[in-house]
């Protein structure tokens, strides 16, 4: 099978490509990525040495870019990881979220129709369901929970979900969706809580904790998310949504304290809260589990592995903080085969 992975120079797409090549899960992988600030060719350095892998720089919201890849590569399936993914950025500058996360998905869906009813998987998020009250138990989001997004980011992801499901029903396009909880692991951009905290701790700066730090997220090691997507691609029923999560709720303060303890130093400070800050996420992943998926990496082990990775890959995150990764990305401007 030849899989087109969009957004593969980012955190989860990069993990997906590395796992798929390592475990011989695909005959060929083609990556298309715009290389926004969040795309990093260093993340793909292993894949670029593999003859089964090809990279194209392109924008999912640009029909010409997308159709060029479809014409040259004729993928059997598309997994769309490409997105603007950071809630804080969506609050500051929403418009690019609409372009990439909504229009971009529309362009990909049209290409899938035009080039032979290509199998399409949309990587979505638990944030489309909005939030839950703090302290609740047994009230996790199911696939039937109403969509109540809070931020421009989550509203754009919910819009894309609806569009993808409409293409399934109206045109019979073989579409599946996964809505996953918070991921963590190697290669995550240091704007998100866990790598942001780690890089602050390692540089001797206090970790900024929004509000009271009581907000709760449901954490999943990125490789476990990637395994769920692979299984949904193989066994998932077209037109269906699959919730994916770690059954692993932790408050932000618990996470930050665990990181300080794992590194053996560090401190945090409370800062102004995020506007519209979702209180708590909790995902019921029973439907994905019914396909035979289960998270393999417990939070404590995943956190240790993540801390060890950031400690031993200083050049990766320091290249982001000093901006030098941008120059490396420039070498890949234009299509590359
Ligand atoms: P990321 O920001 O690390 O990576 C996004 C990638 O998409 C980058 O390589 C970027 O260059 C690329 N990209 C952005 N706009 C593009 C465009 N217009 N055309 C082509 N490429 C473009 O994001 P991530 O954390 O890896 O998230 C991947 C997907 O998973 C997103 O769709 C996100 O909504 C979803 N998701 C993320 C999490 C999480 O915790 N990180 C959880 C659930 C779902
Ligand atoms: O739930 C899935 C979502 O998880 C994905 O769809 C998003 O792409 C991904 O970014 C993530 O969204 P969050 O908003 O939950 O992640 P973030 O790392 O930005 O924040 C996690 C929690 O930590 C949140 O409650 C806000 C808080 N936080 C975050 C930052 C960056 C802080 O307290 N301080 C910070 O500096």
- Report the chain's mean pLDDT, rounded to a whole number: 96
Give the integer Cα–Cα distance in Å for 301 and 261: 14
Q: Please report the pLDDT score of residue 312 as a whole number.
A: 97
Q: Which CATH architecture is the domain 2-187+220-246+277-297 placed in?
A: 3-Layer(aba) Sandwich (3.40)
The ligand 2 atom nearest the CA atom of 277: 25
The ligand 2 atom nearest the CA atom of 278: 25
* Mean pLDDT value across residues 128-142: 95
Q: Which are the contacts of 45, defined by CB distance < 8 A and separation ≥ 6?
A: none
CA 141 → CA 66, 112, 137, 179, 231, distances in Å?
A: 34, 30, 11, 10, 21
**Nearest bound ligand to the CA of residue 249:** 2
Handedness of CA 251, 256, 260, 263 (dihedral sign): positive
Answer whether 96 contacts ligand 1 (Cβ < 6 A): no
pLDDT digits over 179-196, tens only? 999 999 999 999 999 999
The yes-or-no verdict on residue 336 having pLDDT over 60 is no
To test the ligand 1 pocket, which listed residue (55, 63, 82) has its Cβ within 8 A of the most ligand atoms?
Answer: 82
Ligand 2 center–CA 314 separation, angstroms: 22
The ligand 1 atom nearest the CA atom of 82: 7
Token couple for 204: 């001797």
Q: Tell me if 245 sits within 8 A of 283, measured CB to CB.
A: yes
Answer whether 38 contacts ligand 1 (Cβ < 6 A): yes
* Mean pLDDT value across residues 246-273: 98
Q: Evaluate if pTM is beyond 0.95.
A: yes
Q: Please report the pLDDT score of residue 337 as a whole number.
A: 42
Ligand 1 center–CA 264 separation, angstroms: 31
The yes-or-no verdict on residue 309 having pLDDT over 70 is yes
To test the ligand 2 pocket, which listed residue (130, 145, 195, 217) has its Cβ within 8 A of the most ligand atoms?
Answer: 217
**Interior angle at CA 322, CA 312 and CA 31, nearest 5:** 70
Residues with CB under 6 A from ligand 2: 85-87, 125-127, 181-182, 192-193, 196, 208-210, 215, 217, 252, 274, 281
Counting Cα atoms < 13 Å in the Cβ hemisphere of 232 gives 32
* Mean pLDDT value across residues 233-239: 97
The ligand 2 atom nearest the CA atom of 218: 1
Per cent of the chain over pLDDT 70 is: 99
Ligand 2 center–CA 124 separation, angstroms: 15
**Nearest bound ligand to the CA of residue 271:** 2
The yes-or-no verdict on residue 233 having pLDDT over 90 is yes
Which residues are known catalytic residues?
126-127, 153
Q: Please report the pLDDT score of residue 335 as a whole number.
A: 54
The radius of gyration computed from the CA coordinates of the chain, to the nearest angstrom, equals 19
* Mean pLDDT value across residues 294-300: 98
* Mean pLDDT value across residues 27-49: 97
Of all protein residues, whose CA lies closest to atom 34 belonging to ligand 2?
209
**Nearest bound ligand to the CA of residue 281:** 2
Q: Please report the pLDDT score of residue 334 as a whole number.
A: 61
Which residues of 21-73 form beta strands (DSSP E)? 28-33, 53-57
Give the integer Cα–Cα distance in Å for 119 and 216: 34
Q: Which are the contacts of 194, defined by CB distance < 8 A and separation ≥ 6?
A: 184, 188, 255, 259, 303, 306
Give the integer Cα–Cα distance in Å for 306 and 232: 26
Least-confidence region, from 55-69, 269-283, 322-336: 322-336
Of all protein residues, whose CA lies closest to atom 21 belonging to ligand 2?
193
Element housing 3 (H / E): strand 2-6
Chain-centroid distance, C-alpha 4:
16
Answer whether 82 contacts ligand 1 (Cβ < 6 A): yes
User: Structural domain boundaries of the chain?
Assistant: 2-187+220-246+277-297
The yes-or-no verdict on residue 70 having pLDDT over 90 is yes
């Amino acid at each position: 099978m030849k899989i087109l992975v969009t957004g593969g120079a980012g955190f989860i797409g990069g993990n997906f490509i590395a796992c798929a090549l390592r475990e011989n899960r695909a005959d060929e992988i083609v990556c298309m990525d715009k290389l926004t600030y969040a795309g990093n060719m260093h993340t793909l350095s292993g894949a670029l040495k593999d003859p089964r892998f090809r990279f194209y720089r392109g924008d999912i919201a640009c029909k010409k870019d997308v159709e060029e890849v479809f014409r040259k590569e004729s993928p059997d399936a598309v997994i769309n990881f490409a997105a603007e993914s950071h809630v804080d950025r969506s609050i500051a500058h929403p418009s690019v979220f609409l372009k990439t996360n909504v229009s971009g998905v529309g362009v990909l869906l049209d290409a899938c129709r035009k080039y032979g009813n290509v199998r399409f998987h949309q990587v979505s998020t638990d944030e489309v369901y909005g939030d839950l009250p703090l302290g609740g138990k047994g009230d996790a989001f199911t696939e039937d929970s109403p969509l109540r997004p809070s931020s421009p980011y989550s509203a754009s992801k919910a819009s894309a979900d609806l569009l993808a499901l409409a293409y399934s029903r109206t045109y019979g396009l073989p579409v599946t969706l996964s809505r996953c909880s918070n991921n963590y692991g190697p290669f995550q951009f240091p704007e998100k809580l866990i790598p942001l905290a780690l890089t602050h701790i390692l540089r001797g700066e206090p970790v900024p904790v929004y509000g009271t730090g009581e907000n709760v997220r449901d954490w999943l090691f990125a490789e476990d998310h990637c395994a769920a997507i692979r299984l949904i691609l193989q066994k998932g029923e077209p037109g269906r949504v699959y919730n994916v999560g770690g059954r692993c709720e932790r408050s932000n303060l618990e996470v930050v304290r665990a990181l300080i303890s794992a590194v053996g130093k560090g401190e945090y400070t409370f800062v102004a809260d995020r506007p519209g800050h979702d209180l708590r996420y909790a995902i019921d992943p029973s439907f994905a589990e019914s396909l035979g998926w289960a998270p393999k990496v417990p939070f404590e082990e995943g956190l240790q592995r993540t801390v060890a990775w950031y400690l031993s890959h200083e050049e990766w995150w320091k290249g982001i903080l000093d901006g030098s990764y941008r120059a490396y990305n420039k070498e890949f401007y234009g299509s590359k085969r």
